[in-house]
Structure 1
Amino acid sequence: MTVDDSPSMRMLLRAALTDLGYEVLEAEDGVQALERLDGVEPDLLITDINMPRLDGFGLIEKVREQDRHRNLPILVLTTESSDEKKQRARSAGATGWIVKPFHPEKLAAAIRRVLH
Structure 2
Amino acid sequence: MKTVMIVDDASTVRMFHKMLVSSDDRVVEEAENGVEALEKAIGTPIDLFLVDVNMPKMDGYRLCKEIRQNELLRAVPIIMISTESATQDAQRAYQCGANFYMTKPVDADSLKSVVSAVLGGS
TM surpasses 0.5: yes
Aligned to 1:96: 100
* Contact 1:95–1:114, Cα closer than 8 Å, also in 2: no
**3-state secondary structure, aligned to 1:24:** strand
Structure 2 counterparts to residues 27-38 of structure 1, below 5 A? 27-38=31-42
Measure the CA separation in 2 of the matches of 1:85 and 1:20.
34
Compute the TM-score of the two structures, normalised by the length of structure 2: 0.88
Residues matched between the structures, number: 116
Measure the CA separation in 1 of the matches of 2:59 and 2:99.
17
In the alignment, structure 1 residue 6 sits paired with structure 2 residue 22: no
Aligned to 1:60: 64
Greater per-residue strand proportion: 2
Quote the offset at 1:103 in angstroms: 2.3
Quote the offset at 1:43 in angstroms: 1.2
Percentage of matched positions with identical amino acids: 36
In the alignment, structure 1 residue 39 sits paired with structure 2 residue 43: yes
Quote the offset at 1:21 in angstroms: 4.5
**3-state secondary structure, aligned to 1:71:** coil
* Contact 1:3–1:26, Cα closer than 8 Å, also in 2: yes
Gaps of 5+ in 1: none
Measure the CA separation in 2 of the matches of 1:39 and 1:68.
10
Residues 113, 82 of structure 1: alpha-carbon distance in 2 compared, 3 angstrom cutoff: farther
Quote the offset at 1:29 in angstroms: 0.4
Gaps of 5+ in 2: none
Quote the offset at 1:82 in angstroms: 1.0
Greater per-residue helix proportion: 1
